[in-house]
Chain A
Amino acid sequence: MSTDLILLAVLMFAVTYPTRAVGLLTPGMQRLPRRAFDYLQLVGPAVLSAIAAVNVMVVTDDAGTPSFHVGIEWLAVLVCLGITAWRKNLLLGLIAAVALVAVARATGLAAIPA
């Protein structure tokens, strides 16, 4: 069983813990420029949407060459996005997305990406 990523978890902890601890353990040390906080506020939506978009729109072949991908995955992600925005319920969105892809693939309307 691989344990390589445990070290990565420790490194992620090493950059996460200080942000959680600095205010509690050293009051007054937590000040950053306001512009920095404004930037940090935007990191979440930017990173998560970039991951989602790259995940469904870009595929790589065996040689690692990326190419543009169009498929049912686009629609599934958009359905999840719409339901989450409309119903404020991500689990419902996930269920709808999975059901859509499963049915499309089972009926032959969509292929499984290589």
Chain B
Amino acid sequence: MSDPDPIQMDPAAPTAGEAGTESLAASRRRLLMEALGIAVSAVGFGFVYGLSARQAGFSPIEAVAMSTIVFAGAAQFAAVGYVASGLPWPGVVLLTALLNARHLLYSAALAPWLRDVPFWRRAVMAHLLTDEAFALSVGHFRRVGRTDERGYWIAAIASTFIPWNLATLAGVLLGAQIPDPARFGIDIIFPAAMIGLAVGLVTGRRELVAAIVGAGVGVVVALVTSPSIGIVAGGIVGPAVGLLVPAAIAHEVAPLGTPASADRYAMPGTRLAQPKEPGEPVDAGDPPDDGDRGLP
């Protein structure tokens, strides 16, 4: 790849020999091992999501519908908070759109690899495109130096979709059996999970400022108006203030839409980013080395 920009690159399909050095079988074995680790994590967090959803009043079918239809971990966790705080649906949809917009970049980075896949299969692939699926499949494609459709399905379905949905069902059903969840501290899981996920997304000073301001504005506005409005205010004002931090001192380490970014957004406890070999060419989804964030 001669164009270092992961977004504006010419969407020509990568060809064998450009980056791949590993046999398909070996890379698939490695992919399966990585997928297993992701699946274990998906089970844990899917279960916690199910418990949290139950705490917020979701029925089992509603919780599972979220996991199947939306299939976006951070947005689903956030939706539990929105619903619990009484945020009107338009606000939930707006914040979901903002939170999930990062997928735009994953989609763009994968496009050159998947352009020869039939349209309808790409349409299905799109629904299964998560942080985990992106990072696993891009790593696999780069290892073999070409597209491996089966590898994408392994990355998307086996590692995340199935375990996440089954664990959601288990969590929401078990949560219904606990008579007094607060007595066991179950109610703290949700805010603790939120702050833990936020910690993973702090990849520079801008994110840190956005998180602190978002929390502060959220609480102040919530006290003056209502918790739901406070959350929206924090989510909108925090990033705006974070942008005031000059890029030169932001120390960003995981630009949005790159494997490093996917690693951050993925379920914590798993490491997705592929180590970069010395001299390896910059490829789709890789952050450029020159400090340019590679965005339009």
Contact = CB atoms under 8 A, between A and B. Distances in A.
Contact of B223 (A2, A9, A45, A66): A66
Nearest to A110: B185
A102 B243 CA distance: 39
A56 to B, nearest CB: 5
A4 interface: yes
B16 interface: no
Interface in B2-32: 7-8, 11
B190 interface: yes
Interface string A63-92: 010111000010011001100110011110
B129 A20 contact: yes
A47 B129 contact: no
A21 B70 CA distance: 13
The binding surface of chain B is classed by DSSP as helix
B98 interface: yes
Nearest to B261: A41
B169 to A, nearest CB: 13
B196 A90 contact: yes
Contact of A58 (B95, B194, B219): B219
Contact of A4 (B60, B62, B182, B268): B62
B62 A32 contact: no
Interface stretch (B139-147, B157-165, B198-206, B275-283): B198-206
A73 to B, nearest CB: 6
Contacts of B170: none
B22 to A, nearest CB: 25
B122 A25 contact: yes
B215 A49 contact: yes
A47 B214 CA distance: 7
B69 A54 contact: no
A97 to B, nearest CB: 4
Given A23-B110, A91-B268, A8 B89 contact: yes
A55 B72 contact: no
B96 to A, nearest CB: 5
Contact of A23 (B72, B79, B108, B218): B108
A107 interface: no
B272 interface: no
A3 B59 contact: yes
Contacts of B227: 54-55, 58, 60, 66
A98 B184 contact: yes
A73 B227 CA distance: 17
Nearest to A6: B65
Contacts of A30: 7, 104-105, 107-108, 111
Interface in B179-234: 182-202, 206-208, 210-219, 222-223, 225-227, 230-231, 233-234
Interface of B: 7-8, 11, 44-45, 48, 58-62, 65-66, 69-70, 72, 74-75, 77-79, 81-85, 89, 92-93, 95-112, 114-115, 119, 122-123, 125-127, 129, 182-202, 206-208, 210-219, 222-223, 225-227, 230-231, 233-240, 242-243, 247, 252, 255-257, 261, 265, 268-269, 293, 295-296
Given A44-B207, A52-B198, 10 more contacts: A27-B108, A33-B296, A37-B256, A47-B95, A47-B214, A50-B231, A54-B230, A58-B223, A85-B199, A98-B186
